[in-house]
Amino acid sequence: MKYDFEQVIDRHGTDSSKWDCGAELLKKGYTTRYDKETIPLFNADMDFRCAPEIIKAMEQVVARGIYGYTSIVDDDYYKAIQSWFFKYNNWKIKKEQIMLERGTITGIVNLIQTFTEKEDGIIIMPPVYSGFRDAIAFTGRTAQYCWLKCNDEPYYTIDFERLEKLASDSKNKAILLCNPHNPIGRAWKKEELNQVIHICRKHNLFIWSDDVHCDLMRTNQKYIPVASICDYKKIVTLTSLSKTFNLAGLYITNIIFEDIEMKEKYVQKCLGASASPFDIVLVKTAYTRCENWLIQLREYLDDNLKWAVERLRRNIPGVKCTMPEGSYIIWMDFEKCGMSEEDVRSRIIDKANVMLSRGIKAAPGKGNYSYRICAGVSRSVLEKAVNRIIEAF
Ligand SMILES: Cc1ncc(COP(=O)(O)O)c(C=O)c1O
């Protein structure tokens, strides 16, 4: 079956965080222009309709008309997850390791609260998804920055010297990995992950790996789950249906613990999520029946990203644009374009009227010239947005 990613679906009037929150964003000062012509590409959710297999499975649950308390009773829920990660990533997961949670950030907050104390340090690698800093600040812990290094390409790598230094400080208890890394799109190679494992083992740090973008790899790239290449017990991996199957509003996250005692401790402290009938059906359907949809989606995203990155690089002198190995996010740095920060902002937001997230959130103090494009949209919308940005420069 051929799936349609070209169709533009009008999401206005659906309480979409992306398409309907202009007034709120203006009020909070997150942007200076938002009207019916604004193209919002700041949010990491896609504008494609879900796989028909998913819609049908949901409809069947809806048609039953009863949505009572539900538990994960049969093993098919776990088997779907186990087979998926084994088939694609050679990662063997036991049923007992898996726990449903209501959202990934909830999972991260709960991990922090269960396994660290107030004011402990959590290492993150900016530029990184701003939800990490928010979770750390919310729990009263301290974010310790191990800034990624970047060359002119631009290609980002881990600063292992700095990581070793931070890890050796006994106040720092965990590293929060992002694999593939939002917003710079790197999928960490085996050698890089091995170095992270080596350093964390040596200094007894937790490795919490947020892998929610892991199924959205470029077709020539590979995602390697950190837990699949070692036996380090302090690894916890957060996986989700959100990004892969465009179900972000349903917050279906599965956390995979390498140490069952850690899972028990988490449950004692934070419970974990109660399952809804939708969660169960969606996990089973997504991981067993939506493979073809995902293959076609990846091809579509590959083309979108290739087109947009090439066009931006060719037409905006000085701009640095990542080509993501995983995810649909492009990270752009306008620092070498010879303009002031305010000029860059105004060209993108006010003139092009494309709403992007600003780098100051992902890269505090360093990302003033950076912006993130989430390119999980139909090609015609992406073309309109990219062309408008180019014209504004
Ligand atoms: C790396 C990463 N982690 C977590 C989230 C949010 O996950 P959730 O909505 O499941 O809390 C996002 C959303 O963009 C993300 O990019």
Q: Report the candidate in 63, 17, 27 with the shortest Cα–Cα distance to residue 251.
A: 17
Q: What pLDDT is attached to residue 216?
A: 98
Domains of the chain (ranges plus CATH)?
22-50+292-392 (3.90.1150.10), 55-289 (3.40.640.10)
Banded pLDDT at 384 (limits 50, 70, 90): very high
Share of the chain above pLDDT 70, in %: 100
Q: What pLDDT is attached to residue 103?
A: 98
Give the tokens for residue 318: 């000085």
Tell me the CA–centroid distance for residue 67 and ligand 1, in Å: 27
Name the residue at shortest CA distance from atom 9 of ligand 1: 103
Is-contact 376 46, C-beta < 8 A? yes
Encode pLDDT of 308-334 as tens digits.
999 999 999 999 999 999 999 999 999
46, 112, 129, best to mutate for ligand 1 pocket (most atoms within 8 Å of CB)? 129
Tell me the CA–centroid distance for residue 294 and ligand 1, in Å: 19
Q: What pLDDT is attached to residue 123?
A: 98
* Residue at 371: amino acid letter: Y
Tell me the CA–centroid distance for residue 372 and ligand 1, in Å: 15
Mean pLDDT of all residues belonging to the chain: 97
Q: What pLDDT is attached to residue 232?
A: 98
105, 124, 253, best to mutate for ligand 1 pocket (most atoms within 8 Å of CB)? 105
Q: What pLDDT is attached to residue 330?
A: 98
Banded pLDDT at 14 (limits 50, 70, 90): very high
Distance of CA 374 to the CA centre of its chain: 11
Measured from the CA of 242, which atom of ligand 1 is nearest? 10
Tell me the CA–centroid distance for residue 51 and ligand 1, in Å: 20
Encode pLDDT of 179-238 as tens digits.
999 999 999 999 999 999 999 999 999 999 999 999 999 999 999 999 999 999 999 999
Encode pLDDT of 271-298 as tens digits.
989 999 999 999 999 999 999 999 999 9
Pairing mode of beta strands 172-178, 156-157:
unpaired
Tell me the CA–centroid distance for residue 178 and ligand 1, in Å: 10
Give the tokens for residue 309: 């990155």
Name the residue at shortest CA distance from atom 7 of ligand 1: 104
Banded pLDDT at 44 (limits 50, 70, 90): very high
Measured from the CA of 248, which atom of ligand 1 is nearest? 9
Is-contact 91 228, C-beta < 8 A? yes
Measured from the CA of 181, which atom of ligand 1 is nearest? 1
**Measuring from each residue's beta carbon to the nearest atom of ligand 1, which residues come in under 6 Å?**
44, 103-105, 129, 131, 178, 182, 210, 212, 240, 242, 248, 251, 253
Tell me the CA–centroid distance for residue 159 and ligand 1, in Å: 24
Name the residue at shortest CA distance from atom 13 of ligand 1: 44
Banded pLDDT at 99 (limits 50, 70, 90): very high
Encode pLDDT of 48-97 as tens digits.
999 999 999 999 999 999 999 999 999 999 999 999 999 999 999 999 99
Tell me the CA–centroid distance for residue 64 and ligand 1, in Å: 31
Tell me the CA–centroid distance for residue 60 and ligand 1, in Å: 28
Tell me the CA–centroid distance for residue 7 and ligand 1, in Å: 25
Torsion of CA 166, 168, 174, 179, to 10 degrees: 60
Share of the chain above pLDDT 90, in %: 99
Q: What pLDDT is attached to residue 9?
A: 96
108, 182, 373, best to mutate for ligand 1 pocket (most atoms within 8 Å of CB)? 182
Report d(CA 167, CA 13) in Å as an integer. 47
3-state secondary structure 113-172: HHHCCCCCEEEECCCCCHHHHHHHHHCCCEEEECCCEECCCCCEECCHHHHHHHHCCCCE
Q: What pLDDT is attached to residue 277?
A: 96
Encode pLDDT of 135-193 as tens digits.
999 999 999 999 999 999 999 999 999 999 999 999 999 999 999 999 999 999 999 99
